[in-house]
Structure 1
Amino acid sequence: MGAIGGNESVQWDKMNGAEVVNGGGSGAGSLDRIQVLVRVRPLSDKEIARGEPAEWECINDTTIMFRSTFPDRPTAPTAYTFDRVFHSECSTKEVYQEGVKEVALSVVGGINSSVFAYGQTSSGKTYTMTGVTECTVADIYDYINKHEERAFVLKFSAIEIYNEVVRDLLSAENTPLRLWDDAEKGTYVENLTEVILRDWNHLKGLISVCEAQRRTGETFLNEKSSRSHQILKLTVESSAREFLGKDKSTTLVASVNFVDLAGSERASQAMSAGTRLKEGCHINKSLLSLGTVIRKLSMGSNAHVPYRDSKLTRILQPSLGGNARTAIICTLSPATSHIEQSRNTLFFGSCAKDVVTNAQVNVVMSDKTLVKHLQKEVARLESELRQPVSNSSLEAQVKEKDNQIRKMEKEIKELKSQRDLAQSRLQDLLQVVGDRDPKHQVFLLV
């Protein structure tokens, strides 16, 4: 299969208030800011028992305010504005419907998307991401059921990053996985399990496996603290049924990432020691790298972005500043004892909302269709060369066009060679099994 971009128009379908693509091709992409939301959890039983007040207040749908001044920084801002803020009585369903849905469901239209949960330990990240994942997948399957004119294939994979080691959560083996960089695919995880889904219940079972495999541990702040970053990836492929197997066949391919980050923590507050202390150091280091990447991206395109400082940022690079739509849910504890951590989370969110991504509709063509497209492009370039141009840079333009033509002719030759090889192997196989009936001969034509 070959991926290709074009200028075809994209038709949009309104699905319960969210825009999703239902056809078309890959455009040049559109600039889109990262969507940043804030969710404040209720006070925990421990915080209530200690008599801690709730210091943060959502004064409207977009602004959260600190009720007093920061003891160590009286001039620090006390009000922060985001795309949406959710007070402690809001349900996860509301967070999804009003803050995440539009971004997450871009995947059914061929646009990559990612949803993050970021915040200190015990602030409700895993709880939030579990609900958001369930809501998103339920809506994806609902969309599939309503669009019988398209054929869908869903694939699922899952990893965790524990102490800077990448593990496959769908594999019983505890083997560290390596990261590789590819010019076309970007950074990818080697030998990662990817399962083709049968239905929603199949996916639920796989997610349960991931939950059982993921590293958790007890700390003073959280009885079941996530000790690793978890990334669940759902890939959605769809094609129009009427064009399946035909020359015009194209496939929309995109992925949605559900990212449950481990929480930042202070060793003194979490009372960590030994293994927990080591885990906390790795967690804080990778989150520091993530924060640095976000700050650099928010500064503009001229700044160097250190994606390679951690495996987390390497894997998430497309979601942070590339071909994806992204939503980040910043989770907060309102308690007095977590003022500084909450302030750091809000600072991270303030930087993230200035980051711009360039999401595109991802269209994959069959080799046969791709060859025809390249042949048309060669003809167009040759036609341009035949047109008179009164320009001092004519020689350079001609050279550039010639290079493009040679490159495309090489691609066409390689594709035809692959076709001929496949046809030869098929004919050999038919001869071996003794099937020489002419009506069974198979010809691959371009």
Structure 2
Amino acid sequence: MQPTLFPGAIAVALFPLLANAQSTAPPVDGCAPMDIGPAYDASLSTGATLGCFQFVTPATPAASKVDVNLAGFRAGELHDVSLVRVDSDGSTRAAATDASMDAYRILQAISDASTRWLLLVGRPKGGEASPFQMQVTLATGADRHEPNDAFTTMTKLEGNQRIEGNLDNAGDVDNFLITFRPDQNTANLELEAPPGVVGIVVDGAKKTGELRGGSAFRVDSSRPVFVQIKGDASTVGARYTIALRDPGATAVVTMVRSKENISHLAPGLGSTVPGGANVARVADVEAQVFEGDRATPVGAGYVVKFEGYDVGTNGHWLLTELTAVTDERGIARTTLNVGPCKGGAIGPITVPTRGNPPDFWDIEYNPSAAVIAWVDASDISDATRPLRFEHICKETFRMHRPWKP
């Protein structure tokens, strides 16, 4: 394909790209038409400094990702390539550009249906003929991080998080660059993906690793971490998740509560005031998980282990254990079936209600039971200060009679 050249004939406005094309703009004079799909041999003619090509996206019901691949530029020669959208009013807006001496280029943009696009190929001065190859392809189902196939358009993110994406075509490559807190020197990276999807990782220490679905990698996060996700013809439409987690994260138990039909009058440890955190058999518990700085809440996906204990002067007794997963705010919630008391009980003590005249309850309980929590993949020694509760072993209602028969 031999393009028509027109040095300086088009002025391109560099504005933020807006998805507002309502109808197809008319053809642009001086730009050679091309189809989406075929690969073309093209050339800047001897002495020419600019070539222009144009294509129109099909009338699809949803937005599509436009991929422009150019190859074959001579090494050491500067070429400036740009992908420009033409709106229905004739105005032009640059979506992507690459000015370099690379032999291979990728330009990408998200396009509405029936939109006219220009592909501009230029060089700073004329010379002998400059041949190259070019191809435009279209993909639907692009994720919110697109376009990010090229290093120049890689998605830049900050902090520990879950990154969700998909490979919208056989040649789709998703590139990410993630930076972390200055005091976080390591991070756990996990890939959830179907067979055929591969993750290439280059960490802050320039160590390279390869991830596949279900595998994990401990990375140096003292400098930005590069992650590339790619597949093949068998992975078109494949969805994946990259989970980035702080190995120094800690869980803090923030709530132990029971909705059981009990008196809720047993006082806390070292107190005579009725109404501590009474639990008989079932407790609703909650923990907040923070990153290693003990201040930044984590996101979703951290596994938290809870354990409940009876604690006494002569030991402690495990009541139950369970795991839960943090939500988007870094909070893990679950219900612990603590069951009957196993040790450390005192009483029964007689406790009055707040009525006038009061009623009375005889309560046998463990005043120093506790719930602890820590982040899975760490050690139980990383559990922070336990949250105490009153484990009710037995209650007897005596109405308004404080004495025992």
Structure number, greater radius of gyration? 2
TM-score w.r.t. length of structure 1? 0.23
Relative to total residues, which structure has the larger helix share, 1 or 2?
A: 1
Higher RCO (Cα < 8 Å, 6 or more apart): 1
TM-score w.r.t. length of structure 2? 0.24
